[in-house]
Amino acid sequence: MEIVYVGLDLGSSSFQQVAIKGDGSIKVNRSFTTSEANLRAAFADQGGEIQVHLEAGELAPWAAAVIAPLVTRVICSHPKDNAWIAKDADKCDRVDAYKLAELLRLNRFKEVHYAPDQRRRNFKQLVQHYDELTAQQARLKTKLKARLRMQGVIITGERLFSAAGRKPVLAKVESRDLRTAISQLFSNGKPLRRPRLDRSGCGRLKDVSRKAFDVAIRSRQDNGFKRAYQRALETTHDKTHARLTVQRKIVSTLRAMWIMRTPYCDELMR
């Protein structure tokens, strides 16, 4: 069966599809408006063993999940490692899509892993969102206190960030215009509080799972993660893939512990 190498340059409004054969000749070169239906249509009429290459980005996990049942293989690579594309002055969707297909044909790419399970991707996005909101809140609190200190109002503690505590503090600012400006730093006039996770959306998560992996592997005692690593290593013969497999199990287990409010046990890994 003929192998067809497809480069997919994704954009929010349109995407370019370039398919090349094993000898490098172009088989397909066309563009579509970006939608799930058009992604399916772009691969519905392709023959042979289809391998697809696209760059990691906001649309990549969604697009990969849509086309995965229609093709043999989907590869997402890191844009920073694709110097042929990133540093080339001749940039357009058609050229970029061709280069993605050619890099796939030459096996010159660095793959980025996306969890195949949508629930895991959602969980990671929620953790990222929570982490970003926490950092934004910390910066905003620092800015509020700095603005007040510029007016000679020195505040310690958290009372500034409650509805009851904010009014007497702002009253100490003599300028009405400055009081208004400082008030605008509050979230729609509401008191600042610790953000909650929501559905709109993680380097920290990766760091935690990697540290947990290292501890589990170095442990002298037998544990489920160590056994999972050995099984994955025997299957893939690749230490990196085996480690990532176990890190995903760690994140999944943490999620189960969080939801079920239960301490760790090996049964949670199943």
pLDDT tens column, 204-220: 777 788 888 888 888 88
Of the pLDDT bands very low, low, confident and very high (cuts 50, 70, 90), residue 189 is: very low
Structurally, how many domains does the chain consist of?
3
User: Whole domain around residue 221: which residue ranges?
Assistant: 202-269
Q: What is the mean pLDDT of the segment spanning 178-202? A: 61
Cα gap 66→43, rounded to integer Å: 10
pLDDT at 269 (0 to 100) = 66
**pLDDT score for 72:** 92
Claim to verify: residue 97 and residue 178 sit in the same structural domain: no
**Tokens of residue 143, six digits:** 């800015």
Q: What are phi and psi of 31, to 5 degrees?
A: -125, 155
Ramachandran angles phi, psi of 265, nearest 5°: -155, 155
Q: CA nearest 209: which of 235, 245, 236? A: 245
Looking at residue 192, its pLDDT comes to 53
Name residue 16's beta-bridge partners.
9, 31
Range with the poorest average pLDDT among 84-88, 107-111, 187-191, 227-231: 187-191
The yes-or-no verdict on residue 88 having pLDDT over 90 is no
Choosing from 78, 105, 132, the residue where a domain stops is 105
Q: Is residue 41 part of a domain?
A: yes
Q: Does a structural domain hold residue 261?
A: yes
Whether residue 88 is found in the same domain as residue 17? yes
Same domain, 208 and 261: yes
Alpha carbons 99 and 122: distance in angstroms, whole number: 31
In a domain, 188, yes or no: no
In-domain check, residue 10: yes
Q: What is the mean pLDDT of residues 138-160?
A: 86
In a domain, 195, yes or no: no
Determine the residue type at 264: Y
Contact 113, 34 (CB under 8 A): no
* Cα–Cα distance for residue pair 32/26, rounded to 1 Å: 18
Confidence of residue 110 (pLDDT cuts 50, 70, 90): confident
